[in-house]
Amino acid sequence: MTTLPILLQRSYQEVPDKTCVILQHAGQPDKALAYRDLIRGANRYALTYAREGIQPGEVVILILQHGEDLMYSFWGAVLRGAIPSIMPFLTEKLAPEKYRADLASLISITQPTTIVTYPEFEQEVRGALVAGDSVRHIILADQIEAESEPDFQSLQGFKTSPEEIVVLQHSSGTTGLQKGVALSHRAILNQLDAYSRSLRLDPENDVIVSWLPLYHDMGFIACFIMPILLRIPLVNMSPFDWVRAPYKLHQAVSQYKGTLTWLPNFAYNFCAHKIRERNLEGVDLSSWRAIVNCSEPVHVESHDLFFEKFSAYGLNKSALQTCYAMAENVFAVTQSPLDGTPAVDAIDRETFMTKRLATPPGPDSPSMQMTSSGHPLPNVKIRVVDEFLNDLPDRSVGEIAIQSDCMLTGYFNRPDATESAIKNGWYLTGDYGYMADGELYVSGRKKDLIIVGGKNVYPQDLESLASEVPGVHKGRVVAFGMYDEEEGTEEVVIVAEAESTSPSEREALADAIRKHVTKSSAIALRHVKVADDQWIVKTSSGKTARAANREKFLKAFGYE
């Protein structure tokens, strides 16, 4: 079996002039990189890593923004035989002290020897280092070796075996940096083989267009690793540029005849609400054959809204597709068939909520719609199990367990986390769902995980932050998700108990919580309620009952 460096070498030798990436930056002309450019740039970093004494198997953390340096430094680490991992770059919204704490946590567990960043960010990185930690090198993007013809025989990455770890994925969640998903060459290539068959990828005609960040599995695998290794041209824009001007995605699809894009559910609503007709003049979306909804629960209403908005520009309804994916399986677990629209299952709401069964609605019963995430990939097996890991029948809701030949090697330096997640060769996803007619329907998340705009948000973290605000009763805070139909994603709600009964003081306290949580976490918090003592519902064992508190909130504040 081959490895990632061997595939890069083949592309360099066989199709050196083929465009592999087109980089887009706001206010700048598009920059096309051929395979010759990409691998020569990667070679510069590989030589730099060798110069600094970085050894194969050592972890290299990349803290770089969208652009050439991020691409070259990543593939350069692969050519060197080091293990690259991309970390989110500090944004204006995130407090620097929170960012440094996340970086310090990653360093303590992952034990990287090297961090690559920009000269102007060096001091921020050094602020996260402590005496005696693993980091020996900080490589700056202006200290890279000169370009030269790659000497593939001397590059250590060519000596790695398919079973060796080649990359680490760190989740975008609030505590995800503590768990690096270790993936081997074999796992990645098995995933690409199976997923490319499900998508019917065609290197001669397909073009992937993406704004997704590369530190999350959807952008990292589907819109970076896969197109480059399989020779599918990639049009890659900055996530920050897309948020400011979402129409740029549609313009890029039209300009480059894009065929494939991956989006989290909220992006369908965001595009439909934010894009104006004046920005779509002359746009043709008829080349789009698959826009894959992934990374947060799928809502058919979001697809309908997106199609209604853009069908006038040539968008085909059949392009709106779905996928269930996770970093622990490299990426895709399921994919909807591309020869039709995803199945929508109308089920009885009461039976689903109370008995955890997905049954057809009665004549006078309220119903709800569940959207299929598709069939398992050819190399993936799925079980739905109860708390004792017994198989459940079709249409019974339980935890989703998966088994494949592209699963993670383990959580890097976390044997405890690996052991708790993998039981008898099956990975327990922590997600709930059910199977029907061979298709997977994902219904919720274990441990009350909230997904906001594709980001995993752990309510315990937000509750801890809110408790830091003076005036909030410690331990009397609850956070949960509330689906926002307008935005197409979940919004976070925080309810906090406080002594004050003054409406003005409560409003000031709610505002203080909002500001503190927004500054210190990955989400922009809007919904905060300050409540009376004993408002929050606890279980008999004293734990916060988030589902019960969510229902109480919806009734008390008129959201039902």
Neighbouring residues of 523: CB distance < 8 A, sequence distance ≥ 6: 452, 455, 457, 462, 492, 517
Rg (CA), the chain: 24
Task: Round to whole Å and give the CA distance between 444 and 169.
Answer: 23
Determine the pLDDT at residue 93: 66
* Mean pLDDT, rounded, for 168-195: 84
CB 95 within 8 A of CB 149: no
- Starting at the earlier edge strand, list the strands of the sheet with 260-263: 31-34, 19-24, 234-237, 208-210, 260-263, 290-293, 320-325, 332-335, 375-376
Task: Round to whole Å and give the CA distance between 333 and 440.
Answer: 10
Calculate helix-pair angle for 4-14, 68-80, nearest 10 degrees.
120
CA angle 110, 113, 114 (to 5 degrees): 110
pLDDT, one tens digit per residue, over 490-533 is 889 999 999 787 889 999 999 999 999 888 777 889 899 999 88
Determine the pLDDT at residue 114: 98
* Mean pLDDT, rounded, for 444-466: 77
Tell me how far CA of residue 139 lies from CA of 50, 142, 408, 449, in angstroms: 12, 9, 28, 36
Percent pLDDT > 90 in the chain is 74
Task: Round to whole Å and give the CA distance between 146 and 366.
Answer: 66
* Mean pLDDT, rounded, for 547-560: 80
Determine the pLDDT at residue 364: 83
pLDDT at 382 exceeding the cut of 80? yes
pLDDT, one tens digit per residue, over 338-376 is 989 999 999 987 788 678 899 999 888 888 899 999 999
Determine the pLDDT at residue 541: 43
Q: Phi first, then psi: what are they for 253, rounded to 5°?
A: -60, -45
* Mean pLDDT, rounded, for 404-412: 97
Neighbouring residues of 512: CB distance < 8 A, sequence distance ≥ 6: 469, 470, 471
Task: Round to whole Å and give the CA distance between 332 and 218.
Answer: 9
Residue 134 burial by Cβ neighbours in a 10 Å radius (0-12, 13-18, 19+):
middle
In the three-class reduction of DSSP (H, G, I as helix; E, B as strand; rest coil), residue 175 is classed as: coil
Determine the pLDDT at residue 539: 56
* pLDDT band of 171, cuts 50, 70, 90: low
Q: Phi first, then psi: what are they for 236, rounded to 5°?
A: -120, 120
What is the architecture, at CATH level 2, of domain 458-556?
A: 2-Layer Sandwich (3.30)
* pLDDT band of 487, cuts 50, 70, 90: confident
* Mean pLDDT, rounded, for 57-86: 97
* pLDDT band of 2, cuts 50, 70, 90: very high
pLDDT, one tens digit per residue, over 16-26 is 999 999 999 99
Tell me how far CA of residue 361 lies from CA of 357, 364, 366, in angstroms: 11, 8, 7
* Mean pLDDT, rounded, for 393-410: 97
Residue type, 357: L
Domain spans of the chain? 341-446, 458-556
Determine the pLDDT at residue 19: 98
Dihedral of the CA atoms 479, 482, 487, 492 (nearest 10)?
A: 0
* pLDDT band of 453, cuts 50, 70, 90: confident
* Mean pLDDT, rounded, for 153-165: 97
* Average pLDDT taken over every residue of the chain: 92
Give the DSSP H or E segment for 27.
Answer: none
Same fold, 341-446 and 458-556: no
Percent pLDDT > 70 in the chain is 96
Q: Which of 11-15, 88-92, 300-304 has the lowest mean pLDDT?
A: 88-92
* pLDDT band of 447, cuts 50, 70, 90: low
Task: Round to whole Å and give the CA distance between 102 and 90.
Answer: 11
pLDDT at 12 exceeding the cut of 60? yes
Task: Round to whole Å and give the CA distance between 399 and 443.
Answer: 10
CB 84 within 8 A of CB 108: no
Which of the two residues, 470 and 540, has the higher pLDDT score? 470
CA 203 centroid distance within chain: 25
Determine the pLDDT at residue 540: 44
- Specify the CATH number of the domain 341-446: 2.30.38.10
